[in-house]
Amino acid sequence: MQKRKLGKSNLEVSALGLGCMGMSFSYGPPKDKKEMTDLLHAAVDRGITFFDTAEVYGPFTNEELVGEALAPFHGKVVIATKFGFDLSGSDNRPGAAGLNSRPEHIKQAVEGSLKRLKVDAIDLLYQHRVDPDVPIEDVAGAVKALIQQGKVKHFGLSEAAAKTIRRAHAVQPVTAVQSEYSLWTRGPEAEVLPTLEELGIGFVPYSPLGKGFLTGKMDETTTLDKTDFRSTLPRFTPEARKANLALVNLLGEIGKRKNATPAQIALAWLLAQKPWIIPIPGTTKLHRLDENIGAVAVELTSADLRDIDSAASKIKVQGARYPEHIEKMTGL
């Protein structure tokens, strides 16, 4: 497995990470713990050293799963987690009580994550969503104090706007920014990616396969379980899926030229954008893990990239990526 560095930091990880959320949360009912433990071990065996979780996934159960499964590999893997939601609400929906990045809450969240992840220090700690009620300087300052105490190694932001990234970085250097980025979600290209390049910050695209859509395994007839959060997303209505298949067909055409699947082309496209981009596709299946890892070996030439960009620019993606109340939590 090739390695990449997150920007100018000394944090080196596998060129592809593994998003662990779906093992416990969001994509239907939680998966079998032993099966997911075996999958996490298989990922390590295949050279993946970068794993992504968050306290809100479950809540808490995903961190517990990842912490237990990866305990034998301490020092060999990098585990990223996130704070920023208030999980104290009476409503069972994770994060229903809203955002909370007050410094005292960050400290509490980190103590909980350290226990669940079974580590002495969190490798990479992201603010999960920017909290409009707490100045980002206060957030960065709280994480800086935790870094000085040896409880956190690196600071990250998720779905933050360029100006927010600059303000945070001035207080505590930001190692990585995580936002949704793929061939059908290209918002970060306008301001965020140039800012990261200038400041020497790594970029971690989540949902690099469009929440599964860019794999080519879904169409307008696919039935989504009501426990699958995609059933609430405007981009996943049957009409939007039908329209958006044009993008998948494009990936399939390029894939035929390269002897690769649509998913592998989608990931190879991201890897070809910048050497400091590390996508974190999630999966709960071993054959998908192997398929995703195969993307690292797919070479896209500058001509291939031009073809993809040219064809993609003619395809209008249908449907917002989130309902409006969630979209408001993003800073892009």
Count of structural domains within the chain = 1
Cis peptide before 59 (omega within 30 of 0): yes
DSSP element (H, E) containing 310: helix 302-312
Both tokens of residue 295?
Answer: 């993307």
pLDDT in the model for residue 27: 86
pLDDT in the model for residue 310: 92
Tell whether 102 is covered by a domain: yes
| Sequence-ordered list of residues with C-beta below 8 angstroms from that of 189, at least 6 positions apart, any chain | none
pLDDT in the model for residue 39: 98
Of all residues in the chain, what percent carry a pLDDT higher than 70?
96
206 in active site: no
Distance, in Å, from the CA atom of 7 to the CA atom of 27, rounded to the nearest integer, reads 31
Tell whether 241 is covered by a domain: yes
Contact yes or no for 220/236 (Cβ under 8 A): no
| Listed residue (72, 82, 74) closest to 20, CA to CA | 82
Tell whether 332 is covered by a domain: no
Tell whether 9 is covered by a domain: yes
pLDDT in the model for residue 325: 78
Average confidence (pLDDT) over 192-216:
97
Residue 92 has pLDDT above 80, yes or no: no
Tell whether 158 is covered by a domain: yes
Composition of the chain by helix, strand, coil, percent to 5 = 45, 15, 40
Tell whether 285 is covered by a domain: yes
pLDDT in the model for residue 96: 60
Average confidence (pLDDT) over 11-35:
95
Find the catalytic residue in 57, 126, 181, 206: 57
What is the reported pTM?
Answer: 0.95
Distance, in Å, from the CA atom of 100 to the CA atom of 33, rounded to the nearest integer, reads 29
CATH number at residue 186: 3.20.20.100
pLDDT for 288-317, tens place per residue?
999 999 999 999 999 999 999 999 999 999
Question: Phi then psi for 254, rounded to 5 degrees?
Answer: -65, -40
Distance, in Å, from the CA atom of 234 to the CA atom of 240, rounded to the nearest integer, reads 7
Helices then strands, each counted (H, E), the chain: 11, 9
DSSP string, 30-92: PPPHHHHHHHHHHHHHTT--EEE--TTTTTTHHHHHHHHHHGGGTTT-EEEEEE-B----SSS
Which DSSP symbol is given to 158? E
pLDDT in the model for residue 88: 77
Contact yes or no for 284/39 (Cβ under 8 A): yes
Distance, in Å, from the CA atom of 82 to the CA atom of 176, rounded to the nearest integer, reads 12
Residue 94 has pLDDT above 60, yes or no: no
Structural domain for 28, as ranges: 3-327
Contact yes or no for 260/298 (Cβ under 8 A): yes
pLDDT for 229-246, tens place per residue?
999 999 999 999 999 999
Tell whether 155 is covered by a domain: yes
| Listed residue (129, 140, 278) closest to 203, CA to CA | 278
Query: For 118, what's the count of Cα atoms within 13 Å in the CB-facing half-sphere?
Result: 14
**Angstrom distances, CA of residue 288 to CA of 42, 240, 250, 264, 293:** 12, 25, 20, 10, 9
- Across the chain, mean pLDDT equals 94
Range with lowest mean pLDDT among 120-134, 189-203, 212-226, 266-280: 212-226
Using pLDDT thresholds of 50, 70 and 90, give the confidence band for residue 254.
very high
pLDDT for 312-330, tens place per residue?
999 999 999 988 877 777 6
pLDDT in the model for residue 80: 98
- Tell me how many degrees the CA angle 101-151-54 measures, rounded to the nearest 5: 50
Residue 90 has pLDDT above 60, yes or no: no
pLDDT for 41-82, tens place per residue?
999 999 999 999 999 999 999 999 999 999 999 999 999 999
